[in-house]
Amino acid sequence: MKENSMLDVVIIGAGPAGLSAAIEAHKAGLQYVVVEKGAIVNSIQRFPSAMTFFSTPELLEIGEIPFTSSSMRPTRIDGLEYYTKVSNHFKLHLNLFEEVISVGRRDAHFELETSKTTHQCKNVVVATGYFDNPNLLGVPGEDLSKVSHYYSEPYSFYRQNVAVIGGKNSAAIAALELYRHGAFVTLLHRKEQLSGGIKYWILPDVESRIKEGAIMAYFSAEVREIRSGSIDLENRTRGRFSIANDFVFALTGYHPDISFLRAMGVDTDPETMAPVHNPDSMETNVSRLYIAGSIAAGRNNNKIFIENGRLHGRSIVASILKS
């Protein structure tokens, strides 16, 4: 593949969906490149260090390469090893740590300006996911260094007052891990109870810890301000009050970068933020511009996971070959 030559397709994002699309392009003999602003499977790299996938190995496979794991549910490390080795197996063309600045239409082709070069191509696949864009609380103090929208591991927070904001799987898992490693944990959720979608083996655990007082919890609670040593909260029963706090994990979910999509001319649903697309080919309303993976679901990121997002590449390449 020659640098700056006309490519058949540029794939933006080197997560499982982007890698799967690259494999299909490779198998079809297309000229392609994957452009990724971070590391390979960058979202998985940022998952909690001790994370275990909810899926079994075969549901995470791409390129028909077996995913071997020592247990029924592979770990984050297993995933990183697997996707790296699959990329090596196919010798995928990956441009890592190269950020796409803009995507423009030039007559019958696209031109992509990146942080390093310019790419010209006939087709574009956007497989950028949503994990880079946390749902912000929008309160004073959210920009303090003690606040994070990503949880990694519990060890640094021993005997610290840690607030976990959220009511789904990630918040429940973080609260339990922090508690079991010596942190003083308070779980804050704006709804009346934890999500019923929390995995069945996690929900009773966190509910029991709350019931016995090992984890403090405030429901129907809104965060009003985050300070260096405290958080201001408000709920129906107590009105506005403060609790002592050293660190905050605001695990309130993530969303796709719709401004990036709209700049390319892609229409999005005003409520779900999902890009308008043909579910059979994954082509958007912009001819020859496709989406792959969880970005296709917009805010409803509990609809598309690695398990089904990895299948989009086959449909996309089939559509490219027909056009």
Q: What is the pLDDT, as a whole number, of residue 57?
A: 94
**pLDDT one-digit tens code per residue, 229-280:** 999 999 988 999 999 999 999 999 998 888 899 999 999 999 999 999 999 9
Rounded to an integer, what distance in angstroms lies between the CA atom of residue 259 and that of residue 290? 16
Kindly list the distances between the CA atom of residue 241 and the CA atoms of 101, 130, 231, 250, in Å, as whole numbers in the listed order. Answer: 44, 33, 8, 19
Integer Rg of the chain from CA: 21
Q: Find the length of the chain.
A: 323
318 — phi, psi (to 5°)?
Answer: -60, -40
Q: What is the pLDDT, as a whole number, of residue 305?
A: 86
**pLDDT one-digit tens code per residue, 18-53:** 999 999 999 999 999 999 999 999 999 999 998 999
Q: What is the pLDDT, as a whole number, of residue 106?
A: 86
| Tens of pLDDT, residue by residue, the chain (323 residues) | 555 689 999 999 999 999 999 999 999 999 999 999 999 999 999 999 989 998 999 999 999 999 998 888 999 999 999 999 999 999 999 999 999 999 999 888 999 999 999 999 999 999 999 898 999 999 999 999 999 999 999 999 999 999 999 999 999 999 999 999 999 999 999 999 999 889 999 999 999 999 999 999 999 999 999 999 999 999 988 999 999 999 999 999 998 888 899 999 999 999 999 999 999 999 999 999 999 999 999 988 778 889 999 999 999 999 999 98
DSSP three-state, residue 221? coil
CB 219 within 8 A of CB 235: yes
Rounded to an integer, what distance in angstroms lies between the CA atom of residue 83 and that of residue 16? 7
Looking up tokens 């995928």, which residue turns up? 92
Question: Would the pTM of this model clear 0.85, i.e. be above it?
Answer: yes
Q: What is the pLDDT, as a whole number, of residue 169?
A: 94
Q: Side chain identity at 256, as an amino acid letter?
A: P
Q: What is the pLDDT, as a whole number, of residue 123?
A: 98
Rounded to an integer, what distance in angstroms lies between the CA atom of residue 120 and that of residue 123? 9
Rounded to an integer, what distance in angstroms lies between the CA atom of residue 150 and that of residue 284? 30
End-to-end CA distance of the chain: 22
